[in-house]
Structure 1
Amino acid sequence: MTKANMARQIAEKNGFIAALDQSGGSTPKALRLYGVNEDAYSNDEEMFGLIHDMRARIIKAPAFNGEKVIGAILFERTMDGEIDGTPTAEYLWNEHQVVPFLKVDKGLADEANGVQLMKPMPDLDHLLERANTKSIYGTKMRSVVNAANREGIAAIVAQQFDVGRQILGHGLMPIIEPEVTITIADKAEAEEMLLAEILKQLDALGEDKKVMLKLSLPTKANLYKPLVDHPRVMRVVALSGGYSREDACEKLAANDGIIASFSRALTEGLSAGQSDEDFNTTLAATIDSIYQASKAGC
């Protein structure tokens, strides 16, 4: 019953999905923005301990609940960690009614044909089995489009859907994320190509299959409306992609049916040195602004 409740929340409820899934490469920057510099830790274990503390502080904040935050994407180490003695994903759902997702990709391959595919994931089946034992509802995996290259974009979308079918085979909901870099000159053209390739792959999915999509906010508002309306898509969410929170929320509100899945824009303004009261107040205001933008787009 729990998975059915989670599915209903993700498919139908107003709100947004928080991205708390910085990996080894992006963790130092996330900690710096939080006011924790490299001299505060001397190895990866200490670094990941500090980022877990930051995530736990966010998750435990009163405003971080299923009223506005309908889901959260976790890094593997966060899934394996605990909050107040309870496994993180269980804590999220049982205490806050926030649906837990897991980042499963292992980073990006070198660029070819204007895109960066995902690195191989030889242990994915084992990770998905573990995710099922840890109360995880779905997964997320990211690859990147850096140019409007038709061959590259076709390859990136094919890879995402191939892995997506593997994830569906474990009874988990895949969030497919082919991110378009927001600073490229041919972004609008790349997005048109991406839309065509995603529609092709969706039409080839079995009738009983559904996926989610996580996409950069498009240059042309409502470009992705055919994906929002597609019967094989549970939900389309948007990443902030380097936009400020204000810009991301403004762009999000212009796209009907798309909700947010922000990372940096979510933690903007939060600091390790803040009192709990200031931290919780800042986070509550951020959550509300992202929620309102997501709601405007629904």
Structure 2
Amino acid sequence: MDVGKYDKVRAGTGFIAALDQSGGSTPKALKLYGINEDAYSSGEEMFALVHKMRTRIITSPSFDGDRILGAILFEDTMDRDIGGMPTGDYLWKVKDIVPFLKIDKGLAEETHGAQVMKPLPDLDNLLERAVSKHMFGTKMRSFIRLPGQGVDAVVAQQFAIAQQILRFGLVPIVEPEVDIHSPRKIEVEDQLRVTLRKELDQLKEDQAVILKLTLPETDDFYREFVEHRRVIRVLALSGGYSRAEANARLARNPGMIASFSRALTEGLTLTQDDGEFDAVLAETIGTIAEASRT
């Protein structure tokens, strides 16, 4: 494990940017940016366009290591270059930002009110590539709508795969997202906290993870994880909240820091000149970083 990257993630100020829209979510991200689906006719063209968008964000003067601890990348982005070097190396060597890789392949069908991840049969090979590309860690997302057996299944799968990731010397970001529109969101969060606690307490002395959790209904609800010796950091996902709402909720949860995706790119468009683009991004990064300082 890279000690410099670990220290930055563990003790640095700022937040982790989520730039990991995958094949399924990329068209929506591009449309919000101002590029409609008729602008490309293949997956390769689509990914080339989104890489240009991500490159514009990453190379912006506002996207800096003073306020951004890390960035989560999609596999395609990890495999491409920025500034003549692999994206992960550019982030760390030029921007002082720690690179992470999204490893999941999407969600399975809902069962018992939750969606576990689809199978990851080629995960070892992907993790080997992540190590070779100097990724510090990984991120994987599940989705929970209702309390019950589904919550237990999601957490069990997350930690089973986390063990696989840890064997490669990478730090897993465990993300059991809770539906912000769930009619039983408080019950889900109660159960999730108990289930996560059990899994964390079973980790070995030399093992630690990062948790990425939906902003809770009860303020400071995940305090025990912020202080848990097996948790490097607790991240908050915006989960569909507007940036303003997500920032307001985050500020009421001391110790949690942001890891926003849509909320990060909100307001950025292709037609903005570089000055306008950077001004919007600077304001966004500033507000998210401030909310993460609580």
Give TM class, smaller chain.
over 0.9
Partner SS, residue 295 of structure 1: coil
Partner SS, residue 64 of structure 1: coil
| 1:17-166 matches, cutoff 5 A | 17-149=16-148, 151-166=149-164
Partner SS, residue 178 of structure 1: strand
Partner SS, residue 177 of structure 1: strand
Q: Distance in 2 between matches of 1:241 and 1:147?
A: 15
Instruction: After the TM superposition, list the runs of 4 or more consecutive aligned residues in structure 1 that deviate by more than 6 angstroms.
Output: none
- Name the residue aligned to 2:290: 292
Structure 1 residue aligned with 2:265, among 264, 267, 288?
Answer: 267
Offset at 1:84?
2.0
2:206 maps to amino acid: D
- Name the residue aligned to 2:230: 232
Structure 2 residue aligned with 1:200, among 198, 201, 222?
Answer: 198
1:34 maps to amino acid: Y
Structure 1 residue aligned with 2:280, among 279, 282, 287?
Answer: 282
- Name the residue aligned to 1:241: 239
2:60 maps to amino acid: A
Q: Distance in 2 between matches of 1:252 and 1:84?
A: 34
* TM-score (norm: length of structure 2): 0.99
| 1:213 to 2:200 alignment | no
Question: Over aligned residues, Cα RMSD in angstroms?
Answer: 0.7
1:222 maps to amino acid: D
Q: Distance in 2 between matches of 1:197 and 1:143?
A: 14
How many equivalent residue pairs? 294
1:71-90 alpha-carbon deviations (Å, 9 max, x no partner): 00000000000012210000
> 5+ residue gaps in structure 1?
none
2:254 maps to amino acid: D
Offset at 1:207?
1.5
2:235 maps to amino acid: V
The sequence identity of aligned pairs, in percent, is 56
Q: Distance in 1 between matches of 2:195 and 2:226?
A: 15
Offset at 1:63?
1.1
Offset at 1:159?
0.3
> 5+ residue gaps in structure 2?
none
- Name the residue aligned to 1:191: 189
Offset at 1:22?
0.2
